[in-house]
Amino acid sequence: MAQEPEYYTPQPLPPRDGTRAGGYQRGNHQDGGFRPGGFQHNPGQSSWGQPRQGPAVVNVVGGKSALLSYVLWFFLGWLGVHKFYLQQPFQGIFYILLWAIGWFTTPIIIGWFILGFWGLLMIIDLFLIPLRVAQLNVRLARRVNGY
């Protein structure tokens, strides 16, 4: 089997504080202006292996889908399944309870008010689903990056 090219080998991310064991930081030392504990930078050379400035670019695999959330909301929203998918189990249980109590108390009129409140929450979810999906995907990307 052929050996993998150098650019295929995984490179560990530097720690958040910018230091790295075995590297060097600029300083006013007598050994050429560098001191142990950071990254060495030679202006005439490329910055390969140097920490990247700016936000890291990460492709997150396995994030939540807004489309799937809307499909769950449309078909199984009365059970709160979309809330369970978006990692909000207590709100999902609350939706189930509102729906059940609302339907069981409709003969005494109060159930219609409970179902109206439940319907209002469902309409609000139409606008909040993209925000929740983005929040979960950012949390996952930060966890993958180690930040």
Q: Evaluate whether residue 120 is within a structural domain.
A: yes
- In this prediction, residue 121 carries a pLDDT of 96
- Higher pLDDT among residues 62 and 44, named by residue: 62
Q: pLDDT category, 45, cuts 50, 70, 90?
A: very low
Lowest mean per-residue pLDDT among 8-12, 20-24, 91-95, 116-120 = 20-24
Q: Evaluate whether residue 91 is within a structural domain.
A: yes
- Whether the full predicted model's pTM is greater than 0.75, yes or no, is no
Q: pLDDT category, 132, cuts 50, 70, 90?
A: very high
C-alpha 104 chain-centroid distance: 39
Whether pLDDT at 120 is above 80: yes
User: Count of domains in the chain?
Assistant: 1
User: In degrees, to the nearest 5, what angle opens at C-alpha 92 toward C-alphas 87 and 127?
Assistant: 75
Q: Evaluate whether residue 97 is within a structural domain.
A: yes
Burial label for 1, CB within 10 Å (0-12, 13-18, 19+), is exposed
Q: Evaluate whether residue 20 is within a structural domain.
A: no
- In this prediction, residue 8 carries a pLDDT of 54
Listed in sequence order, the DSSP H helices in 77-109 are 81-85, 89-104
Q: Evaluate whether residue 13 is within a structural domain.
A: no
Task: Give the domain extent around 109.
Answer: 66-145
40 contacts 20 by C-beta, under 8 angstroms:
no
The rounded distance, in Å, linking the Cα atoms of 83 and 33 is: 57
Single-letter amino acid, residue 119: G
